[in-house]
Amino acid sequence: MRACADTAIPAAAAADAGTKSPAVGNRTGRRLIAAMLFAAAALDLARCILVMTTSRHPGPAALLVAAGIGAAALSITAALGCRAGLRWVPWTALLIGAASAPQASASGFRSPYTIPDAATAALGILLSVTILTAAGRTRTPGPSPEPPALLDKLSSE
């Protein structure tokens, strides 16, 4: 009976480890990425408000607002998942960051979209760079466990 309880604990830990993302390992990195995703959602919603107030044609405006709300919902979902450390979040955040600059340039940086578009493009680039740099840090850097001199000595024997 005791053996069953001991084997259940590592299995549960292994199952839990499979859902966590090693790419965004530390808490500070996850908080930074989540903050950037929340900011991307806020910029998408700001663009929706601008579309609703400045558009003269309701058809195209409705499509732009729907796309903006969808992008904001995806960004918020990814931010909440990032705070939880889920595995799919780094890839989603990277795609959001990569798509932000082209999305911002679609309106051509015309007035009144100049500020939200420039901020979205800059935030998308920063988000992509942050995800890529955090993905390279899956473990803490440090010296190798065996010094090179010991490796040479072992290989010559």
Instruction: Please give the average pLDDT of every successive group of 10 residues along the chain, which has 157 residues.
Output: 44 45 66 92 89 85 87 92 86 86 71 83 88 69 55 59
Helix ranges (H only) for 1-157 are: 2-19, 27-54, 58-84, 89-105, 114-135, 148-156
Q: Note whether 96 and 75 are within 8 A (CB).
A: yes
What is the per-residue pLDDT for 37? 93
Nearest one of 85, 80, 91, 78 to 131, comparing CA atoms: 91
What is the per-residue pLDDT for 147? 53
> What is the distance between the alpha carbons of residues 26 and 107, in angstroms, rounded to a whole number?
37
Q: State whether residue 20 is helix, strand or coil.
A: strand
> What is the distance between the alpha carbons of residues 45 and 35, in angstroms, rounded to a whole number?
15
What is the per-residue pLDDT for 110? 73
